[in-house]
Chains A and B, each alone.
Chain A
Amino acid sequence: DTGVSQDPRHKITKRGQNVTFRCDPISEHNRLYWYRQTLGQGPEFLTYFQNEAQLEKSRLLSDRFSAERPKGSFSTLEIQRTEQGDSAMYLCASTQGRALHFGNGTRLTVT
């Protein structure tokens, strides 16, 4: 299957720890997005890459969050000093046109 792949599927961490998630987009998709989804809500935009360039960041993305896409292929999202409010599903999506294709997400639980 050549869909969007995210790793890990689940992450449980203690408050204050750092976590990193990985997203492998569909190959040749030049645009990559990170979204966050909390319970009972739709996904909310976090950040966007065109190739390796990070072109947009939401106000939701505090200084504790950083995302990279160093070679224009896979991307990582790191959260430093996690807080309980960071508990959510983190979704990655990629596209080359208008159809955004999502991965299955990484569910983060901060205890």
Chain B
Amino acid sequence: GEDVEQSLFLSVREGDSSVINCTYTDSSSTYLYWYKQEPGAGLQLLTYIFSNMDMKQDQRLTVLLNKKDKHLSLRIADTQTGDSAIYFCAAMYSGGGADGLTFGKGTHLIIQP
């Protein structure tokens, strides 16, 4: 089945760019997602990209997809304290019929003043 890997922690200074990386194993994954989760809350959809795209930009967020290497990244420009959260990468797979998402374990983004 699909496996999604992320590093557990990332620490950046306020105002710098944050780059959160993710790798996945199933090359048939059709859509790839980034979600944000703040303490005690559900998951907020940030953005998603179709697998035939290389890049998607939405305000301070830039998603890069390297389909050959099965590598996805999320860049947050001008990181603010409000960006402190856990960021989950997820892949949508077509096998199994559920069209459900497989999530990584999440990357804790820590903002230093």
Chain A contacts to B: CB under 8 angstroms: 4, 6, 31, 33, 40-45, 48, 55-56, 91, 93, 98-105, 107
* CB of A48, distance to nearest CB on chain B (Å): 5
Residues of chain B lying within 8 A (CB to CB) of residue A98: 31, 48, 92
Nearest chain B residue, comparing its CB with the CB of A42: B103
Selected from B41, B97, B104, the residue in CB contact (under 8 A) with A104 is: B41
B43 at the binding interface (Cβ < 8 Å): yes
Q: List 14 A-B contacts (CB under 8 A).
A: A4-B42, A42-B104, A42-B105, A43-B101, A44-B103, A45-B98, A55-B97, A56-B97, A91-B43, A98-B31, A100-B45, A102-B45, A104-B41, A105-B42
Whether A41 and B105, one on each chain, are in contact in the complex, defined by CB atoms closer than 8 angstroms, is yes
Instruction: Report whether over half of chain B's contact residues are helix, strand or loop; otherwise say mixed.
Output: strand
Known: A98-B48, A98-B92. A43 touches B97 (CB 8 A): no
Whether B100 and A33, one on each chain, are in contact in the complex, defined by CB atoms closer than 8 angstroms, is yes
Complex-state Cα separation, A41 to B40, whole angstroms: 14
Residues of chain A lying within 8 A (CB to CB) of residue B90: 42
Complex-state Cα separation, A75 to B101, whole angstroms: 19
Complex-state Cα separation, A45 to B43, whole angstroms: 14
Residues of chain A lying within 8 A (CB to CB) of residue B4: 42
Residues of chain B lying within 8 A (CB to CB) of residue A48: 98-100
Residues of chain B lying within 8 A (CB to CB) of residue A44: 103
Residues of chain A lying within 8 A (CB to CB) of residue B97: 55-56
